[in-house]
Structure 1
């Protein structure tokens, strides 16, 4: 009788530890996620597999309840509810695809689970995807490295898991011993801000002037392109466009910054590109944050509002002859936006966020670690800019 509950409990605790360690915000810890498929496959029944999946996902996304409470200035309960709801897709997929059969059949089912959690609709909440570890295990291997880690994760569900584990851990140790961070894009400079929740909400002339002054003060001589965080320019209008062109008059720098474009149906979270001579919308976010930004149920109840999602739009944009892969905030936590961009072989990854609400959580650190891992996998330079 004791073994009836001891083995499932051990798997659940191990799965929670795996999620916690892998998604601690340290890029070299990401390969700890390779343990998850082994734990999932060792579950004796579907209920145990469900518990193992839930433990991993909830531990990996543990900063969500506190972050939601800070965002909405509420108590912890709305965050806890959203935390559980967000885990439902991951748990559902891994529960449905679990099988009592062993060997290649279970490996195939786990491969299907990986694929489902990488793309919409389940990929919309596909955080903490174990394949992100590919950037640490196989830096600069590109698509071959992604395939290698996917194969390794699938083998971890079979009786050959000891051999797979030894191989993957060996790559992990080798990579950690010689780890170097990706290059920062040449001619690029990311500017981090500490403006808390006022960024994007204070849209006064004084705020825009202060931001321009900050750029002038922090600009390095080699910087031709400067990156500002999500929401930095507030609402993007013709007036704001002209204002920033005036602010940049007499300089040879251009600015890429987050903003919002509003219309009667809702709004779009965008990147804009502005210089002394022109301004334009550069990129429209493919995947805004579900719930707080993207609210697809509103049209069904006859209401407007919320951010639009362009799931597979504009994976690549161009600035100064360079092809860029843009990632805004939430897109750094899910899998398909970066993979879609990598299909087009960009020159540089740019990533921005407005994470004031993540204070005392590891969310921004996880975003940075995830972006760094993808940049290392594909051998791309990257530049980031966050507001806290």
Structure 2
């Protein structure tokens, strides 16, 4: 029992390692969770270790969700979401645990996969696989393979092979195979501090005018040849057809295109007869809107409701902007594993993240979003451009 309690505490500490500004390397502690799981003396202790990890890592959720749903749900609802998400993420680990090391050699990778891919992958925060970016930078999918192989070798107590992988990790960190390309210096993100940007909120024309004015000002100031990323839902809702906002954005886009600059700006796009889409609009570019694949379940993505934000969960998340292949992640997607891994298979040049975290500004959530993107960028040797409203 003592060992089990110590492992649960250790799992919780690994979860608390997420969400500390400037300490991205702490994400590497997530790699210890499968090891602790394998050492648990029983199925229930194994489940407790992983529950403790997921609940500690998502500790900002009940407070942020409490603000997000303040007008539509009781306070207990946000705590219930937090507990449910932690339990669902831990469930594969609980069910697949085995006291037999040889059985663990396939159940461990299976648990990693089940928590990364849909349906559990829709709420699969802080998957231990993200630790590959800390341990094997620049190695991409090979680094992921090395991490999972390392777990299996530890289970089998093949210490000589583990030592070889550890040496690879040391070398890859010393060499730092990824180098920021010169063109990436022309790309940047611009954070905003708007008090409230909420999907499906009642129109506030004064606030929308202020947001549009800031976009126009930044577009006018943007130097030739640069790419600027703004956060999610900064623009007022854009409607297809004869819409004033759409006409104004078309003019701005033409001005940016004339000087060879581009802005990626978050907006909700409304098309009659179709669900609203949460997108990044590429001003100054011929690229179509970059559509969010996985909006926040329940908060934005409600397939049973008429006002649901459209989802495209199995899209590739790739757009061509300023001549570069962009892997983009809009807000909630930044926390998940499978959308980014799908995008990485298309060999992008840059990762772009745009988020609207007004509801989570006093929680660890925005920092974790940034950590996850930075770690994936580190693993695949890609520059990361982020913009957040907070």
Give the TM-score, by structure 2 length: 0.87
**1:242 and 2:247 matched:** yes
Gaps of 5+ in 2: none
> How has the CA–CA distance of structure 1 residues 14 and 166 changed in structure 2, closer, same or farther, with 3 Å as cutoff?
farther
**1:290 and 2:289 matched:** no
Report how far residue 174 of structure 1 moved.
7.5
* Cα deviations by residue, 1:274-324 (Å, 9 ceiling, x for unpaired): 23xx7764211111111211123x1xxxx4221222111243111232211
SS of aligned partner of 2:289: strand
> How has the CA–CA distance of structure 1 residues 279 and 233 changed in structure 2, closer, same or farther, with 3 Å as cutoff?
farther
Alignment of 1:147-296 (within 5 A): 147-160=145-158, 164=162, 168=166, 171=169, 175=173, 185-198=184-197, 202=204, 204-217=208-221, 219=222, 221=223, 223-237=225-239, 238=241, 239=243, 240-247=245-252, 250-251=255-256, 252=259, 253-262=261-270, 263-264=272-273, 266-275=275-284, 281-296=288-303
Alignment of 1:1-388 (within 5 A): 5-25=1-21, 26-73=23-70, 76-102=75-101, 104-160=102-158, 164=162, 168=166, 171=169, 175=173, 185-198=184-197, 202=204, 204-217=208-221, 219=222, 221=223, 223-237=225-239, 238=241, 239=243, 240-247=245-252, 250-251=255-256, 252=259, 253-262=261-270, 263-264=272-273, 266-275=275-284, 281-296=288-303, 298=304, 303-388=305-390
For residues 39 and 368 of structure 2, what CA distance do their matches in structure 1 show? 28
For residues 59 and 177 of structure 1, what CA distance do their matches in structure 2 show? 33
Aligned residues: CA RMSD: 2.8
Report how far residue 198 of structure 1 moved.
4.1
For residues 157 and 362 of structure 1, what CA distance do their matches in structure 2 show? 32
Q: Report if aligned partners of 2:146, 2:165 keep a CA contact under 8 Å in 1.
A: no
Report how far residue 165 of structure 1 moved.
8.2
Alignment size in residue pairs? 374
Q: Report if aligned partners of 1:209, 1:247 keep a CA contact under 8 Å in 2.
A: no
SS of aligned partner of 1:41: helix
Report how far residue 265 of structure 1 moved.
5.4
